[in-house]
Amino acid sequence: MNIKKIKRAIISVSDKSNLKIILPILKKFNIEIISSGKTYKKIRNMKYNCVEVSNYTGFSEMLDGRVKTLHPKIHAGILNIRKNKEHKKDLKKKNIHNIDLVIVDLYKFEKQLRGKIKIEKLIEYIDIGGPALIRSAAKNFNDVTIISNISDYSLLTKELKINKGSTSINFRKYMSAKAFGLTAYYDSVISNYFNNQLNIKFPEKKTIHGKLIEHLRYGENPHQKAYLYSDHNNFGLTKLHGKDLGYNNYNDIFSALSILESFNKNIGSVIIKHANPCGVSAEINQFISFKNALACDPISAFGGVIAINSVIKEKLALELNKYFFEIIMSKGFSKKALKILKRRKKIILINCNKFSFKNINNYLFLENGFLAQDSNNILINKKIKIVSKKKPSLNQLNSLKFAFNICKFAKSNAIVLVNNKSTIGIGAGQPSRLDSCKIASYKAMQFVPEKIIDSVAASDAFFPFTDGIEELIKVGVNAIIQPGGSINDKKVISAANKAGVIMAFTGTRHFKH
């Protein structure tokens, strides 16, 4: 079972709030405590015996506290292999005693980072002695116990009680794994900070860090486990009502949030199904915006995620309760609206008012590797070029921009039909662009045929042939926006001119796979 008796511990922590949990159990089993600085003073003030590190090592702290525990008497006491005879001889020569328990946390670099302090002060929060102690103890888990998280104090107390002042090998291994995870996370935060400072987006060595935030209901399917990680303690999302979220829920939520982020404040409604928009409106009036978004594809909207870019009021809440949505997300809910929506026991209600995107990089994990790219933060990186004979009105141009923006968030190949500030048909995720044109046209004809005349269309990439635009023109589209760049551009423009349709090129592609 490999039980190890603890005779001596070193404690050095920034967060001293829970020392009261572990000090009594250490005293009960006559475990000697070594500590330094403010931790030493705190333990003494709590009326527990403690030896100061400088007295233990015979070496005073120096360099404003930068060097405290970095001493052979400390690290040799931790790192020696207890069964190794040569190690025992080395320790006996230097009069060094074993240290069996290390309780350490790290300077709050990440917390200070969010406070946006100057780099000269920030670097003083890069811990050196702490990670060294943690890694030494974690490496020697066969003989030493490492506690690197305040939340594990109660586990240590329980372990010591069960084993009468000792710890088991399984406990030490578990704590070692947690400790190495902490130091890896800590170094990753620091590394990424300096890379960001130097605008190095894709360094030679890349680490991605995250804290476990939530155990999800399940993954993409019920037989898959799933967890949520973040480099923040939360996402700025507050669940107000309903069951726990799953993997697919979060995927849909972030698809909706990415579209809301592209809208002006307090404007817009988005309906998402399987990470694709199935209805979007940027009408100013909250109620009309929702109704227009729903009208685009009410069948696909069933069981989807609805995101409102404003505080939901009573009138909209009453209307929302007429339909089945799995999640309703908004920038807040009035008291009456919240009461109305909570009548649906299974509905998930989320306040996203405090959420914001950092928009740095996107990652796609591929077994033992991952892809990294810039976030797609550009709508059009060149001036829109009108390539047709017919020119758009200001209203048409605004509608084209809106349609092209929604295209950016739909899976490729993507075609989006728009009337004014609302989608009326979306075709997405098809291997053929022609099929996406047919689906978008079919949806519009099925649900809002009265709005298809004089509508506009957007494509996330160029039309390789004329068949796609011909399909759109056939149902009544009178303006089309696309990146351009096909070898058949001239034929496509010619077909648009022949039909008297406006054609705009952006020079910017928006594939989303």
Chain segment 452-501, per-residue pLDDT in tens: 988 999 999 999 999 999 999 999 999 999 999 999 999 999 999 999 99
Place of tokens 């940027």: 282
pTM of the model: 0.86
d(C-alpha 148, C-alpha 26), whole Å: 16
Active-site residue, selected from the candidate residues 41, 71, 139, 211: 139
The pLDDT score that the predictor gives to residue 233 is 63
Q: Are 512 and 409 in contact (CB under 8 A)?
A: yes
Please say if 139 is a catalytic residue.
yes
The pLDDT score that the predictor gives to residue 65 is 67
d(C-alpha 177, C-alpha 141), whole Å: 9
Query: Over the Cα atoms of the chain, what is R_g?
Result: 31
Measured over the CA atoms of residue 33, residue 39, residue 41 and residue 44, the dihedral's sign is: negative
Please say if 232 is a catalytic residue.
no
Give me the domains of the chain, ranges plus CATH numbers.
Answer: 4-197 (3.40.50.1380), 242-351 (3.40.140.20), 385-505 (3.40.140.20)
Q: Which amino acid is at 436?
A: S
The pLDDT score that the predictor gives to residue 15 is 87
The pLDDT score that the predictor gives to residue 297 is 97
Kindly report whether the peptide bond that precedes residue 413 is cis, defined as omega within 30 degrees of 0.
yes
Q: Which residues of the chain have pLDDT under 70?
A: 1, 62, 64-65, 233-234, 359
Q: Are 38 and 14 in contact (CB under 8 A)?
A: no
Active-site residue, selected from the candidate residues 274, 336, 390, 491: 274
Q: Give the list of residues 6+ apart from residue 169 with CB closer than 8 angstroms, or none.
A: 1, 2, 3, 4, 141, 142
**Integer angstrom CA distances of residue 499 from 58, 473, 474:** 91, 8, 9
**What are 440-446's contacts with CB under 8 Å, separation 24+?**
440/415, 440/416, 440/472, 441/417, 441/471, 441/472, 441/474, 441/475, 443/296, 443/297, 443/417, 444/417, 444/475, 445/475
The pLDDT score that the predictor gives to residue 386 is 97
